[in-house]
Structure 1
Amino acid sequence: MSAAPQSRWLLFGVGALAAVAALLPWLITGARLPLQNFWSEIPSAVPVVLLPFSQYAVSLIFALLMVGSAAAGLAGRLLGARTARFGTTTLAAGVVLVQLLAVVQTALVLSTLLPDETAAIVYLAGLTGGALVTVLLGALATVLIARAPRAGAVIGFTAGAVALGSWVAALIVPFGSVPDGYPFLLTLVQWVAPVLTGAAIAWAGLHTPGRIVAAVGALLIVWVAPAAMTGIGSALGTRVYATMPAEMLDYGWNVFLLALLTPELALRPIIATLVTAAVGLGIRALLARRRRAAASA
């Protein structure tokens, strides 16, 4: 089925709009460039940037980009992007274009405010490279959600769900502010990824080997991804290791293993995902039984 030109433009606009909307948790802060450890003094006019380039905001950068990609994929699937000629490609292009503009604009602004030394160059390259990798992973998530069979879509949904937890937390407590008065909401945030992943597994079902593999893969992502983000964030956010990359890597690895293998941290998301999936699959089976009964009657 070929898409009319306006349909392709619609999908491109939907992708771009999703990418822009996903920046909301950062934009509501005023979007001023975060303080940098390389600054000997704060610039008189701190510029506006589209992404919070800082070693303390790595998980937030990931969330801002990945949530936009996943939202675009979901919108594309609902709009039937896979049935339109180049529909998914156009949708993903809208997301990627906006996100690349955000990465480039932020990197260029930051580059003018960093000292001309090796450590600062490595710092900027690391943040820029990490953001670009996230854009690529996000594009994959967009395609999986919008176009892939349900097994592939589950993986894309899971990536978006993991990022959504940090995204919602940044809405509740904007970057740079002090958490105060929202303990209940912040407690609920930790269940966002497991519940949404379990719902995605239930939506896909377990009727084929591919869907079973996808469900297992989703469980692994829910288990490993938060621990990886904790390890990376802890390592990059520790100033004492800023000039000691080997020690920083070792520290991050140890934090990752601690978050991954501590039962009270690791089992909760896995159990929550399994329970949500089981409930969803049970409801799905009940509805299917009722439909069969109504058809036979």
Structure 2
Amino acid sequence: MATIKQALEKASSLQKISDTWQLDSELLLASAIEKSREYLFTWPERELADTQLRAFQEFCERRSAGEPIAYILGRQSFWDFELKVNPSVLIPRPETELLVETALELLEDAYPGTANILDLGTGSGAIALALAANNDAWQVTAVDSSAQALAVARENAESLQIANIEFVQTSWCDGLEANYYDLVAANPPYVQEGDRHLLEGSLPFEPVSALVAGDGGLADIRTIAEQARHCMQLGAWLLIEHGYEQKLAVAKILADAGYKNIECVLDLAKLDRLTKAQFLS
């Protein structure tokens, strides 16, 4: 038998894998005993059942092997809600909230009523659900080529009771309605094959297809820039998240595809995080 306090003390081995090992251990133990973190602080001398202790030890072993907390817990916070995640989807990053914020800035003034929005490579549905939740009159189409990813996104929509969203399995814009969307958002794969970062942090556990693109990480961005034009209305905006060293390359791709008003948006760390561009002709 072990108390909550003793179990957390034994989890100090997690510091070998994580700078936030104390938080990690608290989250894992709270999940193992199906209580809140506050419960751990309130009842540190409470003894754990054998099944609870085994579950916690198993979680710690997975974390020690490098598996991301989000996959162990099966959930990740994003925007105003928690999303279900599993290894078939990329773990939503806080940096991607900038894409949502930028989209809302463009949409809220221009489309206080109805708007048609497209989210390409939706994964867990993070971007699509954040936009759909903002305005019931906006209709969001969430696209992914992975049936497994779409299953996760649908489950998140049902859990959050967001109805103004439809899910489509296709490759980027293939088969989508022409001249229809007022805004297209995309967080595509943009990591170059063989990039050393793929061996770091949570990336070895995440789906390679959601991370890596050919042509130096630009292949999918190039495809989206070309295809999206055909399903956008005149005046619509395209927002693409990309790597912090890809600003100039992405701007050239968009300019060559005929987009105007091309502008890179910096994240809180002052890194080039996404580029927005307008389809005018």
Q: TM-score, normalised by structure 2?
A: 0.29
Indicate the structure with greater helix content. Answer: 1
Higher RCO, Cα 8 Å, sep 6+: 1
Indicate the structure with greater strand content. Answer: 2
Q: TM-score, normalised by structure 1?
A: 0.27
